[in-house]
């Protein structure tokens, strides 16, 4: 452990799988007390058991939370503040990509609303309550803790690239996350609250692999990725750790791409 988040208090939403799970483990390894929030309670309970065994010096807490419900999100933030008196890192990661999400004609309104309630409203609720907590963070020089905090919101490479394999509700939701994060970064910069958006490329996590369930579907995407492979959740977690820690102290308002080069590519290597 190099202690990049020593004594910090962090919340991770969607902590039961993929990026959220890897990030929670990495945060704990780096000394943070982590709150693992997910709609899937069993998944976060299992993750907390792993953390408690591997890093007994940090406190990990599981909590059931549907990020589309403001009361649930507020309860997670309140719990963190009640237990530790502060919140340093808010990782608004929970998101869905619905299998019935399609183009403008085929996508049903209920799929649009479900996607936006989780992917956009959920991030807004996370920001809203984290900002209020972070404003009150006391400085504690002995423990290396300072005022303000770091918020990281998960967008996607599809927020900046159009795809001929449409998932319109998802794409629009991630564009909203990107725009929201940028504005929040500007509004709250002088309060010492940094807000960055993470734009992952296509990853080997259940979210995408359940959807790309044939070799043909996977190839249709991979041809566009300069590195020629899907990313791993841990590669996102390492970027999130950077944005969460003081290593990124002068970085706010970025569209932080961790995407194997896809958003920079015209023609890819054969």
Contact string 102-121 vs ligand NAD (x = CB under 6 A): ----------------x---
Rounded Cα distance, 39 and 60, in Å: 17
Q: What share of the chain is helix, strand, coil (3-state, %, to 5)?
A: 45, 15, 35
State the nearest-atom distance from the C-beta of 210 to ligand NAD, in Å: 8
Asked if 196 is part of the footprint of ligand NAD (rule: CB under 6 A), the reply reads no
Q: Which is nearer to ligand NAD, 154 or 184 (CB)?
A: 154
Number of residues that bind ligand NAD (CB under 6 A): 31
Residue 260 is a binding residue for ligand NAD (CB under 6 A): no
Token digits of residue 243: 């944005």
Q: Does 67 bind ligand NAD (CB under 6 A)?
A: yes
| Chosen residue from 45, 66, 70, 102 binding ligand NAD by CB under 6 A | 66
Which C-beta is closer to ligand NAD: that of 41 or that of 268?
A: 41
The two structure tokens encoding residue 163 = 């795809």
Q: How many Å apart are CA 85 and CA 96, to the nearest integer?
A: 31
Question: CB pairs under 8 A, 24+ apart, for 125-128?
Answer: 125/67, 125/68, 125/69, 125/70, 125/73, 125/74, 126/11, 126/13, 126/67, 126/73, 126/90, 126/92, 126/151, 126/153, 127/90, 127/92, 127/151, 127/153, 127/180, 127/184, 127/195, 128/70, 128/73
Compare residues 148 and 231 and give the one whose CB is closer to ligand NAD: 231
The verdict on whether 170 is a catalytic residue reads yes
DSSP β-bridge partners for residue 231: 203
Which span (54-62, 197-205, 212-220, 245-253) binds ligand NAD, by CB under 6 A? 197-205
Is position 207 an interface residue for ligand NAD (rule: CB under 6 A)?
Answer: yes
**Quick one: tokens of 154?**
């998960």
**Largest CA-CA distance found in the chain, in angstroms, rounded:** 58
Among 55, 170, 230, 256, the one annotated catalytic:
170
- Which residue from 5, 43, 131, 151 is in contact with ligand NAD, where contact means CB under 6 A? 43
The residue within the footprint of ligand NAD, chosen from 107, 137, 156, 171 (CB under 6 A), is 156
Residues 6+ apart with CB under 8 A from 106: none
CA–CA separation, 257 vs 262, rounded Å?
Answer: 9
Q: By C-alpha distance, which of 78, 199, 88, 200 is closest to 150? A: 88
Q: With binding defined as CB under 6 A, does residue 208 bind ligand NAD?
A: yes
Selected from 126, 148, 200, 260, the binder of ligand NAD by CB under 6 A is 200
Chain centre to alpha carbon of residue 46:
19
Candidates 125-133, 139-147, 198-206, 244-252 — which segment interacts with ligand NAD by CB under 6 A?
A: 198-206
Q: Which of residues 2-21 bind ligand NAD (CB under 6 A)?
A: 13-14, 16-20
Catalytic residues: 170
Q: What are the residues binding ligand NAD (CB under 6 A)?
A: 13-14, 16-20, 38-40, 43, 65-68, 93-97, 118, 154, 156, 200, 202-203, 205-208, 233
């Amino acid at each position: 452990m190099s202690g990049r988040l020593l004594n910090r208090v962090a919340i991770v939403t969607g902590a039961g799988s993929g990026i959220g799970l890897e990030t929670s483990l990495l945060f704990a390894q780096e000394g943070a007390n982590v709150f693992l929030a997910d709609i899937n309670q069993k998944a976060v309970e299992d993750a907390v058991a792993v953390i408690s065994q591997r890093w007994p010096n940090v406190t990990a807490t599981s909590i059931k939370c549907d990020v589309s419900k403001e009361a649930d999100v507020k309860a997670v933030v309140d719990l963190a503040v009640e237990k530790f008196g502060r919140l340093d890192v808010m990782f608004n990661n929970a998101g869905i990509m619905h299998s019935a999400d399609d183009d403008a004609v085929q996508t049903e309104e209920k799929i649009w609303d479900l996607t936006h309630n989780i992917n956009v409203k959920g991030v807004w609720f996370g920001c809203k309550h984290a900002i209020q907590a972070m404003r009150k963070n006391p400085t504690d020089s002995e423990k290396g803790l300072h005022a303000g905090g770091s918020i990281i919101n998960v967008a996607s490479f599809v927020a900046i690239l159009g795809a001929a394999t449409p998932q319109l509700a998802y794409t629009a939701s991630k564009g909203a996350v990107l725009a929201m994060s940028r504005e929040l970064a500007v509004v709250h910069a002088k309060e010492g609250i940094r807000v960055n958006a993470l734009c992952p490329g296509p990853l080997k996590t259940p979210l995408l692999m359940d959807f790309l369930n044939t070799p043909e579907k996977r190839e249709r995407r991979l041809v566009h990725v300069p590195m020629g492979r899907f990313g791993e959740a841990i590669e996102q977690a390492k970027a999130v750790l950077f944005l969460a820690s003081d290593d990124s102290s002068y970085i706010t308002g970025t569209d932080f791409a961790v995407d194997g080069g896809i958003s920079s590519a015209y023609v890819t290597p054969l």
